[in-house]
Structure 1
Amino acid sequence: MEPISDGEFTIDGEIMNEVRPRDRDIAMVFQSYALYPHMSVGRNMGFSMEIRRTPEAQRRGPVLAVARTLGLDKLLDRLPRALSGGQRQRVAMGRAIVRSPKAFLFDEPLSNLDAALRVEMRLEIARLHQRLDATMIYVTHDQVEAMTLADRIVVLNAGEIQQVGTPLELYERPANLFVARFIGSPTMNILDVTPGAGGLQLKNNMTLRGPSQASHVGIRPEHLDIAARGAGDVDAEVLLVERLGSDTNVYTSVEQVGPILARLNGNVALQPGEPIALRFDPGHMHFFAQSGRALV
């Protein structure tokens, strides 16, 4: 979609710089489905073969096979307006799969769906990826989709690559503050620190261990524990308790430092206003320079 400013763009070893998009053997799944409203599900799915003048008898087999894979075989005669959002997205995916392309491009395909359908379709795409063993490039703002679907993630900020790696590499070893804040749900706690006697000082003069050149300390909510007042790394006050069943999110406030979120297993008997202490897991602390770059 954009002219190439430098270098070579290859697919499966073939240089595509001067090849027309229609001849690159790429299939795209759009955020808005982009289905033809006057065509049935079956014709939508087989339209790429139709415009290439593939005989109808030869189109029928691939369309039916893909429709069965996606659970659409009983809907082939319906128009898009008679389908749910999840079914429409399946049709858009089926239209791409029928072509058997070298690469699939997904442009935020689940953002128009409700929460339950997003989970269902995420599993559908993951199974398709395993079954087709095809290259899929998937653009999303949802870090849960990125973490669960990707073999490798490219994190972009304002058009610049911040980090490339596997989901766990980005989660466990973020390259900078942007990646640290973006990957993980709930997001990482980031605290400002300054070098001081015996380590890194928070704004309330409490001290943490870490490299002297650090300006920020990061700790994920799941790597915090609750202790009795005075028995942890920082004293805090409970602001809000979210009980999720399997986990409990405890929102706290640390004097002169600000809010810190802890995520604990199970149901925790805490109440707003209760004084507590937070204990940091030293093996899971992250340190960042003033520039935002991660420090060892």
Structure 2
Amino acid sequence: MEQFYTPMRSPMKSRRRRAISPSNSKIPSDSGSSSPHNVTGVEMSEEQMKSKISELNNTIGDLRTTIKCLEKDMRSELNESILIEANNRISANESRIFQNDIAFYEHEIRDIKENLRKAKDELSSEKSRRLTAEDNLRRRIIEIEELEHKLKSASDLTNRLQEKLVDKDQVITQLGSDVSAAKLEISTLEARLNKGRQDLEEAQMRNRTLSLEITTLKSALADCKEELRRNLDDVKDQKENMAKREIDLRRSLESNLVTHNISTSRSLINAFQCLSSQIATIQKTQLPIEVIPLTHIFVNLILL
């Protein structure tokens, strides 16, 4: 809080005498002062301070001018003691003004020094804060650069993942097409399987039918073999009888038909050979033979 002094009303005579004495030439206090200035606390700026100094200088100049005028006007009327007293009073007043100004300026200087110290402390604190802020800013810049690098890496990774995702989508689309084709093929194979099952059932039915037929044929074949065996036995017996008959016929022919035509004998022999070859063929094929009317053959042989 700055202090300056404002003019008060003119002091009384006793007070003027006390003001002239050296013991009362000190700086007055805030309450019990006999000074013609009253202490008032205000916040003064530099412009206000300059205005106050100029005002005080003007006041001092006016007082000096007044003193000179009084000296001229009162030189003839007043005695020397009155002039000396007035001069001393004015000098004391001027001295008090100067002392008050000096005290005011000292106080201002102390305040300025204190403010300067505070400003220096604030400047140091501000420098520290600025250095801290610069360090924080550098760290933030480094962090931002790292974040930008991480962001770029993440962006590259995102792009790669996006490309992989596109590839995966294409693969999924291709797999979907493959699955559709596989489903179609499965449907076709199921249709074929059902057809195969139906064919298998039909084949099994045919196999059962064929098994029955084979069983029947085996039974018939066994019967045919048995009948063939009996027929072969009969043919064998007949062949033996025919051989005996042939021998008898030859003897008979030799004795009774010496002059018979040779061609007739050959025809008979051929007929016997043909019959023998038929019998041999029947034995090789083992097929059922029809009952040959042997009597008819013998009749033909006799006729020949």
* TM-score tier after normalising by the smaller chain length: under 0.3
- Bigger CA radius of gyration: 2
Length-normalised TM-score, structure 2: 0.15
Richer in helix (by share): 2
Length-normalised TM-score, structure 1: 0.16
Answer 1 or 2: higher relative contact order, Cα 8 Å, separation at least 6. Answer: 2
